[in-house]
Amino acid sequence: MEGWKSFLIDAYEQSPALRERLDVENINPYELTTVEQLSRIPVLKKEQLPFLQKHELPFGKMITTKTNELARIFMSPGPIYDPQGDDQDEWGFSEALQAAGFTKDDIVQNTFSYHLSPAGFMFDSALRQIGATVVPAGPGNRELQVQLMNDLQVTGYVGTPSFLHLLLQYADEKRIHVAVKKAFFTAEKLTESMREQFEQRGIRVFEGYGTADCGCIAFEDRKGPGLKISSRAIVQLCDPITGDSLDEEGEIVVTILDRTYPLVRFGTGDVSRWVEGYKGERIIGVLGRVGTSVKVKGMFVHEQQLKQVMAEVGCPIFQAVVTKENDRDQLTIYIEKELDEEAKQKINNVIRVTPTFVCVHRVNEEERCLVDRRKW
C-alpha to C-alpha distance for 94 and 340, rounded to whole angstroms? 44
Domain 293-372 has CATH 1.10.3210.10: no
C-alpha to C-alpha distance for 191 and 376, rounded to whole angstroms? 8
Report which of 60, 100, 99 is spatially closest to residue 80, judged by C-alpha positions. Answer: 60
CATH architecture of 4-86+227-270: 3-Layer(aba) Sandwich (3.40)
pLDDT 10s digits, 20-60: 999 999 999 999 999 999 999 999 999 999 999 999 999 99
Quick one: pLDDT at residue 205? 98
Quick one: pLDDT at residue 283? 97
Residues with Cβ within 8 Å of 339's Cβ and at least 6 positions away in sequence, in order, are 313, 315, 347, 357
Domain ranges of the chain: 4-86+227-270, 93-222, 293-372
Residues with Cβ within 8 Å of 161's Cβ and at least 6 positions away in sequence, in order, are 183, 185, 188, 189, 190, 191, 194, 198, 205, 207, 327
Report the chain's mean pLDDT, rounded to a whole number. 94
C-alpha to C-alpha distance for 368 and 306, rounded to whole angstroms? 12
CA dihedral of residues 14, 19, 22, 27 (deg, nearest 10): 70
Q: Does residue 68 have a pLDDT over 80? A: yes
| 289 vs 42, more confident | 42
Quick one: pLDDT at residue 300? 78
Return the axis-axis angle of helices 161-173 and 142-152, rounded to nearest 10°: 80
- Percent of the chain surpassing pLDDT 70: 99
3-7, 170-174, 304-308: the lowest-pLDDT one: 304-308
- Measured at the CA of 274, the angle between CA 271 and CA 275, to 5 degrees, comes to 130
pLDDT 10s digits, 325-348: 887 899 999 999 999 999 999 999
Return the axis-axis angle of helices 16-24 and 4-14, rounded to nearest 10°: 100
Q: Where does 93-222 sit in CATH, by number?
A: 3.40.50.12780
Q: How many CB atoms lie within 10 A of CB 347?
A: 22
Quick one: pLDDT at residue 184? 98
Do 4-86+227-270 and 293-372 share a fold?
Answer: no
C-alpha to C-alpha distance for 259 and 183, rounded to whole angstroms? 30
C-alpha to C-alpha distance for 135 and 149, rounded to whole angstroms? 9
Q: Does residue 71 have a pLDDT over 80? A: yes
32-41, 250-259, 357-366: the lowest-pLDDT one: 357-366
Q: Does residue 376 have a pLDDT over 60? A: no
| 172 vs 324, more confident | 172
CB 330 within 8 A of CB 148: no
pLDDT 10s digits, 210-252: 999 999 999 999 999 999 999 999 999 999 889 999 998 899 9
CB 75 within 8 A of CB 81: yes
Quick one: pLDDT at residue 367? 77
